[in-house]
Amino acid sequence: MAKSKSLVLSNNSFAESLFSIGTRFSLAKVFDDFLTMTIAACSINPLTKLSNYEEEYLQTIAPYKESELRHEFPKAFAHLIRQMEERVTDSQGNDILGEFFEQHLSNGRNGQFFTPFHICELIASVILGENESKTDTPIRILDPTCGSGRMLLAARKSNATAEYYGIDIDHTCVKMAALNLFLNGMWNSEVLCADSLRANDFVISYHISLLPFGIFKITDKEKSKLWHMHQKSFEPPEKKKSGELIELDKTPFKDRIDIKGTQLDLF
């Protein structure tokens, strides 16, 4: 049987596939659209066999549908999986998405330099080395400015049983982190798009789940576990009863974090 043209991997890497689409379309948009469509592809409803985000997928692919270059998107995904797999035990980690974003798109704008993976590993082993959970409650690890989620990927190597959470103000970073956690099998994790300096801020959140399998968008902040935990970490230790005057809590923020897991543990 002749091979379908769309299945031939003409370009040799994730970056080359995206660059080839970038010859006709803006590279930043191509990258963000790739993330949106890949997240949609990672969230299939087993009953309908369609994505839970089918409409968004169709809207995102629409500008490319007249161009043969649209076939590069699934090839880019195939290359991404292969390259991540090849580097799963690599000392430089397998954050292919973050490397592409940093090298070709952000160029350090908005402080978007990501920590080299071996430094992430060092930080994670220093912080987590002696902090195995001694209770039934898993340690919860938050990177409140997570970028592509690289610090969380490194932390997983020190503690495979923890729950992982990331927040970033930039939606493209949030999508990268959600995909990175999903493709590395870091279930029960969540990545929130919000300003982490503000207790109530919420744009959207992504839940990474094994059962049901997929990346699930949370659009109602009340349904976001991470939003509730993050908001709680801003509260004074003891809430005043209603009617009493609320005094400003003078405890430094870092001292309000309970490392044993009732609140979020911080990098």
Ligand X SMILES: C[S@@+](CC[C@H](N)C(=O)[O-])C[C@H]1O[C@@H](n2cnc3c(N)ncnc32)[C@H](O)[C@@H]1O
Closest distance to ligand X from the beta carbon of 25 (Å): 23
Phi, psi of 77 (to 5 degrees): -65, -45
CB nearer to ligand X: give 16 or 195.
195
Closest distance to ligand X from the beta carbon of 176 (Å): 9
CB nearer to ligand X: give 118 or 260.
118
CB nearer to ligand X: give 77 or 202.
202
Please state, in angstroms and rounded to a whole number, the distance separating the CA atoms of residues 179 and 162: 18
Cis peptide before 138 (omega within 30 of 0): no
| Beta-carbon-side half-sphere exposure of residue 72 (alpha carbons within 13 Å) | 24
CB nearer to ligand X: give 139 or 154.
154
Helix (H) or strand (E) holding 18: helix 14-22
> Which residues bind to ligand X, rule: CB under 6 A?
110-115, 143, 145-147, 150-151, 167-170, 173, 195-197
CB nearer to ligand X: give 82 or 87.
87
Q: Which of 6, 4, 53, 61 is nearest to 29 (CA)?
A: 61
Helix (H) or strand (E) holding 34: helix 27-41
Closest distance to ligand X from the beta carbon of 196 (Å): 4
Residue nearest to ligand X (CB): 147
Closest distance to ligand X from the beta carbon of 80 (Å): 19
Closest distance to ligand X from the beta carbon of 165 (Å): 12
| Beta-carbon-side half-sphere exposure of residue 69 (alpha carbons within 13 Å) | 18
**Cα Dmax for the chain:** 77
